[in-house]
Amino acid sequence: MRIDLHTHTTASDGLLSPEQLVEKARQAGVQVLAVCDHDSTEGVDPAVAAGKRSGVEVIPAVEINTDVDQGEVHVLGYFLDHRQGWLQEFLRKLRDGRVNRAKQMVEKLNALGIKIDFARVRELARGAIGRPHVAWAIVEAGAAKSVDEAFTRYIGRNGPAYVERLKVLPEEAVRVILRAGGIPVLAHPGWGFHEPLIPQLVAAGLEGLEVYYPDHTPAMQAHFLSLANQHGLLVTGGTDYHGEGFATKAAIGSQYVPPEVVEKLKERYAEKQKLGAGTQPS
């Protein structure tokens, strides 16, 4: 059984539409797929509908980008009720922050003599705009040879055109996902400074750890499994697939995720449903 609980669509920085993503998953033999766009659930309904047509089970999800002093922390939310108005308002605020940030980066790049147009960045982004789209525009303008180089030279944390994000703490993302009836999971905990944050996120209500991830070595995987046990956390996993070529570490469905991961996620979701979580009026 192939499972991929971490994928992106054009609703954020993925290259495939929700329908194309589901088709790609079907071709790869993926039976359970979660669509986790950055700060957006716009891809969820079309993916669920496409999944119903082609026999791929699609789990609604999101990946909220948050910030701590050391950098970004991503919090996944599974089975959240994405139709809630207050949640959409929260996500919209994050996306607007992205747009403003991209505009400011374009201004800084223009001031550096790099001629890129914000309209082009928006066009490249299609969905939620992010630094990768600015990087593509830089490459298109011939000011860097690759997205990596665009980051290193211009828009990386220490680059001359870097602009801070609208800050959201990971704890806030955890609370938002819980309030929407979802299961908050720390994404790719192998990213440098993430591990020391786990106890405080557990205190805020974190319920899972993304143990199975292409960047994780077998030793890291074993370590995160034991950490999850220690804190009573669920485990999840996926490829973080963005479409071929761009920001993609592994082919869709190629990261081994044990089937009981999905069973346990569903059990937790059923428990929440029973308790009426996420149905509070806002």
Of 81, 1, 72, the C-alpha closest to 38 is 72
Query: What is the rounded CA–CA span in Å between residue 280 and residue 205?
Result: 17
* Helix residue ranges per DSSP H, the chain: 18-27, 44-54, 85-111, 118-125, 131-140, 147-150, 170-179, 198-204, 218-231, 259-275
Least distance CB 40 / Zn ion (angstroms): 12
Rank residues 4 and 240 by Cβ distance to Zn ion and give the closer one.
240
Rank residues 74 and 101 by Cβ distance to Zn ion and give the closer one.
74
Least distance CB 62 / Zn ion (angstroms): 10
- Number of C-beta neighbours around residue 282 at 10 A: 10
Extract the tokens encoding 57. 């089970």
Least distance CB 199 / Zn ion (angstroms): 21
Rank residues 106 and 187 by Cβ distance to Zn ion and give the closer one.
187
Rank residues 173 and 187 by Cβ distance to Zn ion and give the closer one.
187
Least distance CB 275 / Zn ion (angstroms): 28
Extract the tokens encoding 271. 């428990």
Query: What is the secondary structure of 60-102 as a DSSP string?
Result: EEEEEEEEETTEEEEEEEES--TT-HHHHHHHHHHHHHHHHHH
- Point out which residues bind Zn ion (CB under 5 A): 63, 74, 187, 240
Rank residues 128 and 187 by Cβ distance to Zn ion and give the closer one.
187
Q: Select the residue whose beta carbon is closest to Zn ion and give its number.
A: 74
CA 10 to chain centre: 12
Rank residues 207 and 240 by Cβ distance to Zn ion and give the closer one.
240
Least distance CB 274 / Zn ion (angstroms): 30
Least distance CB 73 / Zn ion (angstroms): 9
Extract the tokens encoding 128. 């939620």
